[in-house]
């Protein structure tokens, strides 16, 4: 079962008692260095000192991770070297976790090396991303997703954690600075509450001051996508474009819906196919929409890598 970002969960999943796993089933070897230190930072009772925001965890250090989930939400990435989807997903998960500036931490579990952890979580497929809040698991997703969908799940995870009193933030041990937090907090806050026009305006202002600001570019793309789809039915948009494949506006709207729905390959195929038979302003509008969706997904997304080559061929 996965957590649906559109639903308002109020309690952590009770299906697996990780505190019982911690105390009864897994050994705690004092010879192994803990990946985290759950001590508050000086002068800040909400700070949780960690060695890194992203770290590998095994059966010996698992106890420490579960204990820290009382203070800050833990994202668990269960991966295996043989999983191609896992190789696509893990860098996306890491990038998104790090962008929250310590409000989440990421523990990576190699299931081949730690079969008892896989068994404890009841995981049947890899990749698999689960959270821990107050010692309890919160199932998230089980396949490679585009970056904006991963972020949507983590936004909901933070809401769930807050409702259960888990509001700490991780601080890398030895770092002098406070957690960085979002690069554009006002814009991100507007985005999280669905005020896409305000978010778009703030991100545009940031880009006017610093055109190379990648976080602002990413935020602007997400705001534009959210604003376009706020009152739309994604399935109707896709059906309308399928009914009239030459309609440029319908194709752009359907591509938005497909990206949000986790099918970016179909979105890019739709737009690039139309680019090949279009000209003038319509061709340029389609090209710009493709580039905007590239920004939404991020340069590491496999669908973007493939579509970028197809776009160049369609244009030249």
Instruction: Give me the pLDDT at residue 2, please.
Output: 41
Average pLDDT over residues 109-132: 88
List the structure tokens of 269. Answer: 């195929």
Tell me, yes or no, if the pTM score tops 0.85: no
Collect all residues with Cβ–Cβ distance below 8 Å to 228 and sequence separation of at least 6. Answer: 253, 256
Q: How confident is the model at residue 182 (pLDDT cuts 50, 70, 90)?
A: low
Instruction: Give the whole-angstrom CA distance, residue 267 versus residue 157.
Output: 28
**Which residue matches tokens 């770092």?**
175
**The total number of residues written for the chain in this structure:** 316
* Residue of 220, 133, 152 whose CA lies nearest to 141: 152
Q: Is 33 a residue whose pLDDT tops 70?
A: no
Listed in order, the ranges of the chain carrying CATH 1.25.40 are 185-315
CATH topology assigned to domain 18-172:
Glutaredoxin (3.40.30)
Listed in order, the ranges of the chain carrying CATH 3.40.30.10 are 18-172
More confident residue, 57 or 174: 57
Instruction: Give the whole-angstrom CA distance, residue 140 versus residue 103.
Output: 17
* Residue of 113, 76, 92, 88 whose CA lies nearest to 306: 88
Instruction: Give the whole-angstrom CA distance, residue 19 versus residue 25.
Output: 10
More confident residue, 214 or 104: 104
Side-chain half-sphere exposure of 159, counting CA atoms within 13 A: 17
* Residue of 254, 231, 234 whose CA lies nearest to 244: 254
Extract the runs of DSSP E, i.e. beta strands, from 10-135. 47-50, 54-56, 74-79, 105-110, 128-133
- pLDDT digit string, tens, across residues 271-288: 999 999 999 999 999 999
Q: What is the architecture, at CATH level 2, of domain 185-315?
A: Alpha Horseshoe (1.25)
Instruction: Give the whole-angstrom CA distance, residue 153 versus residue 2.
Output: 10
Instruction: Give the whole-angstrom CA distance, residue 285 versus residue 290.
Output: 9
Q: Is 266 a residue whose pLDDT tops 90?
A: yes
User: Strands of 74-79's sheet, edge to edge?
Assistant: 54-56, 105-110, 74-79, 128-133, 136-141
């Amino acid at each position: 079962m996965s957590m649906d970002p559109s639903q308002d969960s109020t309690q952590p999943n009770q299906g697996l008692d990780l505190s019982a796993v911690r105390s009864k089933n897994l050994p705690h070897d004092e010879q192994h260095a803990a990946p985290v230190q759950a001590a508050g930072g000086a002068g800040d009772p909400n700070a949780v000192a960690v060695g890194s925001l992203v770290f590998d965890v095994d059966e010996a250090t698992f106890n420490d991770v579960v204990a820290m989930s009382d203070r800050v939400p833990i994202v668990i990435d269960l991966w295996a070297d043989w999983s191609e989807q896992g190789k696509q997903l893990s860098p996306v998960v890491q990038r998104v976790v790090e962008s929250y500036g310590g409000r989440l931490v990421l523990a990576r579990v190699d299931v081949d090396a730690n079969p008892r952890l896989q068994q404890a979580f009841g995981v049947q497929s890899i990749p698999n991303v689960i959270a821990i809040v107050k010692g309890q698991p919160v199932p998230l997703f089980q396949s490679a997703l585009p970056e904006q969908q991963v972020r949507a799940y983590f936004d909901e995870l933070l809401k769930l954690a807050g409702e259960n009193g888990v509001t700490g933030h991780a601080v890398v041990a030895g770092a002098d600075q406070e957690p960085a937090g979002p690069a554009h907090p006002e814009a991100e806050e507007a985005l999280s509450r669905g005020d896409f026009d305000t978010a778009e305006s703030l991100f545009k202002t940031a880009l006017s001051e610093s055109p190379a600001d990648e976080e602002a570019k990413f935020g602007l793309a997400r705001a534009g996508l959210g604003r376009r789809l706020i009152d739309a039915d994604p399935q109707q948009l896709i059906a309308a474009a399928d009914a009239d494949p030459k309609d440029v506006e319908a194709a752009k709207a359907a591509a938005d819906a497909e990206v949000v729905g986790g099918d970016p390959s179909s979105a890019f195929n739709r737009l690039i196919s139309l680019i090949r038979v279009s000209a003038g302003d319509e061709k340029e509008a389609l090209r710009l929409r493709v580039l905007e969706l590239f920004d939404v997904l991020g340069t590491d997304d496999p669908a973007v890598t493939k579509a970028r080559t197809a776009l160049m061929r369609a244009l030249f």
